[in-house]
Structure 1
């Protein structure tokens, strides 16, 4: 067995040596913790290195930015230089480089520019969307009232997910769904499970391992297999909705999908065209992922803080009753007359940490941040 042991030791030393030579910290990178061979800093904490430091995730060096002043200097002063997204193995498997969230360059600019136009046309960020929101919260209130008289507590998570998802449905699909609708519940379950699983996977470093060793992790049983299954399910449901829309002329422009199908026809044959059905599926998916979970989680934080601080809840209710009363719905015009309620909502958003990590950024040119030299690589914004 001695020759085998010697060969094994030689192989290990050789791999570690090659890894060290090949993956040394690049010149000009901020300081950071010592990286383990092969796996890098996947299991490291780096608080003592301040607000700008570098980590090695698998075979890639990453710069971490943390703190208001540093982020302001990066995103405000040099926003164009950090606008791109890294193409990691997991993001490629998830969206094939398509969609709105994980794309860069021409495809991102073209898709983002288009997405803003129909969404604003159908009321996004405008007063015209207010009736849709108020109507949806009427259904939400009815759902909550159905638990009245029961002695058992209930979890509002699914109901708040239904509310936010349905508002997005009105923009994307042109209609809302009943909360009992099987197709709606199935799609919502897939989307929500994807987000929850992603959070768990991040905590367990599964996603980092996937990006560091994609060939191995694609065939290793774990959370990434669950993600792949959920992604396939969501895409299938969105594709069904698109096929239903295609049965009716997209020139009617009832919603985002109609506008996108019309854009596909208008851009056929153009050299710089990025509009096709596969991109449409990923864009729709991104709109749900970006909008539904963040809003519903903020609502649940609001419920939690109102329960924990009943004296604050009483003041908010008293102000609402004094300004709006019980005979009508609130509107955005009431906001100026509800300073205390507005302040409470802002404080909830400040305290409720719904997105602990930003989407990773990728520098498209060397940048200089916080007097620590120039670098160019993936940048995580904390």
Structure 2
């Protein structure tokens, strides 16, 4: 009968899926995976640490993911065998967004060249140094004005803090800041925020697992493409404005990159071009704006939850800095309590609990298991859970 045929076909499909996607020999153990979708809908629903230990595996769609927990195994992976796990897995969403360019999601030669340039250039413009302090202080002057505009009424600081951190990046990358109500700036923040939000949803996991199918979902593909095009378009506008003036002036990151493009023309190993510049600028916003603004919002939350700590911080700031001047990095040595509180906020704040995914560029041994080199058939991406690392290491 038709029903019997359907049952047989369903059984054969499930059996084929099990045989095709079964765990490789010596692979870390893990929970049973549903046919086709694997563990997509159960990845964050349960804690498998107590069942499978510090190294276990999940199947996301048709691809395997290894999850690492605990200080020792993370040290082994990130430090001892760090070179073997330095690459990034190229999921469909990443490929479509970055087109194999940029600095966050690339691997090998292109990553090393782009990362080296980004670090040296940002350092040149004061990133991590005192010379960036005036830019930060100026931006927080605008932030204070924005806060005062609410006249003591409750408000959500998320948008304002995103604007603050993004504007500091704009000063480094574009050479100027934007007013918070600037239409171009608001569009940039909206598109980056939407893109970042999508990557944390179940739709992103489904997109990576079944890209061919998800492209036909009504509106989804069109919305993503429109969002990505919006970010690229604004960055290209800034690049075109910079090209009207000689890049030898080295006013900002874009100037330096355009100069690097000219210097590397004709080199066989050259990875510098305008498309890479667009993606590198995008990566700088993604890496710097969301993470920093989220850290600051955690600080607001902890200060509200522990008013006695807030009072001690305020008392130390009033005693050392007072009300007549702005703070400076030179004050840090005289603010030990405030410095300790900031570090504790960064320790406890849940910024990126799974960090960024890694992939193996050779066979590795971790926790007594064999994790094969990533190839076109199996994507062995390693997600490092720093939240669970802190839980086990500090016993909190």
TM-score by length of 1: 0.94
Q: Which digits, 9 at most, give the CA deviation of each residue in 1:207-255, with x for residues without a partner?
A: 2211111100111136565433321211111111111111111111111
For the aligned residue pairs, the C-alpha RMSD in angstroms reads 1.6
Query: Cα distance 1:27–1:10, how it changes in 2: closer, same or farther (>3 A)?
Result: same
Q: Specify the alignment match of 1:176 in structure 2.
A: 177
Q: How does 1:233-244 map to 2 (within 5 A)?
A: 233-244=230-241
Confirm or deny: 8 A CA contact 2:198 2:204 kept in the other structure: no
Confirm or deny: 8 A CA contact 2:363 2:370 kept in the other structure: no
Q: How does 1:147-166 map to 2 (within 5 A)?
A: 147-148=150-151, 152-166=153-167
Q: How does 1:5-24 map to 2 (within 5 A)?
A: 5-24=3-22
CA distance in 2, matches of 1:28, 1:221: 41
Q: Which digits, 9 at most, give the CA deviation of each residue in 1:113-159, with x for residues without a partner?
A: 111121111111111101111111111111112222x5x31111111
Verify: 1:219 aligned to 2:222, yes or no. no
Q: Which digits, 9 at most, give the CA deviation of each residue in 1:155-177, with x for residues without a partner?
A: 11111111101110111001111
Q: Which digits, 9 at most, give the CA deviation of each residue in 1:312-371, with x for residues without a partner?
A: 111101101111112221111211111110111111112210112211100111111123
CA distance in 1, matches of 2:4, 2:158: 57
Q: Specify the alignment match of 2:97 in structure 1.
A: 94
Ranges in structure 1 where 5+ consecutive residues have no aligned partner? none
Q: Specify the alignment match of 1:167 in structure 2.
A: 168
CA distance in 2, matches of 1:291, 1:332: 20
Q: Specify the alignment match of 2:294 in structure 1.
A: 297
CA distance in 2, matches of 1:27, 1:102: 29
Q: How does 1:52-131 map to 2 (within 5 A)?
A: 52-131=55-134
CA distance in 2, matches of 1:225, 1:367: 40
Q: How does 1:281-296 map to 2 (within 5 A)?
A: 281-296=278-293
Number of corresponding residues: 374
CA distance in 1, matches of 2:8, 2:273: 52
CA distance in 1, matches of 2:244, 2:193: 29
CA distance in 1, matches of 2:297, 2:149: 18
Query: Cα distance 1:373–1:194, how it changes in 2: closer, same or farther (>3 A)?
Result: closer
Deviation at 1:262, TM superposition (A): 1.1
1:33 to 31, 34, 46: 31
Verify: 1:145 aligned to 2:143, yes or no. no
Q: How does 1:179-328 map to 2 (within 5 A)?
A: 179-199=180-200, 201=201, 205-221=202-218, 225-328=222-325
SS at structure 2 position matched to 1:297:
helix
CA distance in 2, matches of 1:358, 1:228: 25
Confirm or deny: 8 A CA contact 1:54 1:62 kept in the other structure: yes
CA distance in 1, matches of 2:79, 2:358: 14
CA distance in 2, matches of 1:68, 1:226: 40
Stretch deviating more after TM superposition (346-355 or 101-110): 346-355
TM-score by length of 2: 0.91
Ranges in structure 2 where 5+ consecutive residues have no aligned partner? 374-379, 386-396
